[in-house]
């Protein structure tokens, strides 16, 4: 892939590029905890966005997307978002660097990658992070990694118009091979935990479903959590987020049963992240897997952001002794499940799931084997 992107760059722009990459990410556990000031446990993966870039001495930035087979150009001194277009992510990062005082000059860029689009592996965040890292390396800006994370997130907010949390960009830039990152979404303090899977493998199963419910349900869940926090603050003024609310305090809140149930999920999920990290640090995969199954149970029954396709895949996993844990990953109502699968049984499980899923839902799922890898870096 690296060589192909380099060759395409040379064919388009007739010069030698700098090559950089930024990976996609998975989230092992800790879903819908980010906007509640809680913990998440992402990892960068071995699927990435690759950027070839070189200065061109012009006032124009010339781009080419390998995946879309499409060119785009913009003036370095005058550009604005192009809604729903891939170039928006690149321009958003350029705008953030300019705003921060970095003198970005005209450049040529070719990019492509092997992160499946729409599977919830954060291909857009990987592109933003690769562009930021590439521009920093090209122009010797020496931008600190944590600043690249913030610029990429702000690019998503200001140009793409998506009010995302910081987890995707953080994992993409700060990832470490064979480790997950426990990120405190309130303070941005983080710690690495080893992922020593031994005879097991992380496998994603993509439902190939994206229900339109997800955006409105996401907003509703945020409002329900905020209602819980406001009620808790009336009793304890020290409460800032659901993370500060105990199950005992939750029971005393004057809120609807629905709000209580949503809040209960978040409080317990935060604890599951901490328990999962302890299990990983001990190399206890069975206990880790139980936390992962419990996470899905909460997401499906209490937070109600699953769907029949996701629930089917997790139910299959619960009945399969060679899968230690499984859950839906991401915002919900579609996307992937993440599974801890015995390597020797991967092919059999794929075959069984494909047959049963096709019979039930009339479509084929996709399977991706992934492993934790390094965050953003240079190639060669």
Q: Quick check: is 315 catalytic?
A: no
The 10s digit of each residue's pLDDT in 10-48 is 999 999 999 999 999 999 999 999 989 999 999 999 999
Residue 212 is predicted with a pLDDT of: 64
Pairwise CA distance, residues 5 & 10, whole Å: 9
Pairwise CA distance, residues 271 & 283, whole Å: 18
CB of 92 closer than 8 Å to CB of 155: yes
Q: How far, rounded to the nearest angstrom, does the alpha carbon of residue 167 sit from its chain's CA centroid?
A: 6
Q: Are 2-194+374-378 and 200-370 equal in CATH topology?
A: no
Q: Does domain 2-194+374-378 have CATH number 1.10.1330.10?
A: no
Q: Which of 46, 108, 114, 168 is catalytic?
A: 168
The 10s digit of each residue's pLDDT in 338-365 is 999 999 999 999 999 999 999 999 999 9
CB of 92 closer than 8 Å to CB of 164: no
What is the side-by-side strand order in the sheet with 377-378?
70-75, 60-65, 107-113, 42-55, 18-27, 377-378
Angle, in degrees to the nearest 10, between helices 285-297 and 257-282: 170
- With 0-12 / 13-18 / 19 or more C-beta atoms within 10 angstroms meaning exposed / middle / buried, residue 304 is middle
pLDDT higher than 70, residue 214: no
119 annotated as a binding-site residue = yes
The 10s digit of each residue's pLDDT in 92-117 is 999 999 999 999 999 999 999 998 87
Model pTM? Answer: 0.93
From the candidate CATH numbers 1.25.40.20, 3.90.1150.10, 3.30.70.890, 3.40.50.150, the one assigned to the domain spanning 200-370:
3.30.70.890
Domain ranges for the chain = 2-194+374-378, 200-370
122 annotated as a binding-site residue = yes
92 annotated as a binding-site residue = no
192 annotated as a binding-site residue = no
């Amino acid at each position: 892939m690296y060589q192909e992107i380099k060759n395409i760059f040379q064919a388009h722009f007739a010069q030698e590029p700098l090559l950089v990459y930024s990976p996609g990410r998975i989230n092992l556990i800790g879903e819908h905890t980010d906007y509640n000031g809680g913990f998440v446990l992402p990892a960068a993966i071995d699927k990435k966005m690759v950027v070839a870039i070189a200065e061109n001495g012009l006032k124009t930035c010339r781009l080419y997307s390998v995946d879309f087979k499409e060119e785009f150009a913009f003036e370095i001194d005058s550009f604005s978002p192009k809604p729903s277009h891939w170039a928006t992510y690149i321009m958003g990062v350029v705008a953030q660097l300019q705003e921060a005082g970095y003198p970005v000059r005209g450049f040529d860029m070719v990019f492509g990658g092997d992160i499946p689009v729409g599977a919830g592996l954060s291909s857009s965040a990987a592109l933003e992070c690769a562009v930021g890292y590439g521009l920093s390396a090209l122009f010797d800006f020496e931008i600190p990694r944590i600043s690249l994370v913030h610029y990429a997130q702000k690019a998503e907010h200001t140009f793409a118009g998506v009010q995302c949390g910081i987890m995707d960009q953080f994992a993409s830039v700060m990832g470490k091979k064979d480790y997950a990152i426990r990120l405190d979404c309130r303070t941005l303090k983080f710690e690495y935990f080893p992922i020593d899977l031994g005879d097991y493998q992380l496998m994603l199963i993509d439902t190939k479903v994206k229900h339109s419910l997800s955006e409105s349900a996401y907003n509703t869940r945020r409002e329900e959590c905020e209602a819980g926090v406001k009620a808790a603050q009336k009793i304890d003024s020290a409460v800032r987020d659901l993370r500060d609310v105990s199950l005992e305090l939750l029971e005393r809140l004057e809120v609807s049963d629905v709000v209580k149930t949503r809040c209960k999920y978040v409080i317990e999920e935060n604890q599951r992240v901490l328990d999962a990290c302890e299990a990983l640090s001990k190399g206890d995969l069975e206990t880790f897997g139980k936390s992962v199954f419990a996470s899905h149970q909460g997401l499906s029954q209490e937070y109600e952001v699953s769907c029949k396709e996701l629930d089917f895949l997790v139910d299959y996993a619960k009945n399969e002794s060679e899968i230690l844990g499984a859950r839906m990953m991401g915002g919900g109502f579609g996307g992937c499940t993440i599974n801890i699968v015995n390597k020797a049984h991967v092919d059999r499980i794929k075959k069984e799931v494909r047959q049963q899923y096709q019979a039930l839902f009339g479509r084929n799922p996709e399977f991706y084997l992934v492993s934790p890898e390094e965050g953003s870096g240079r190639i060669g």
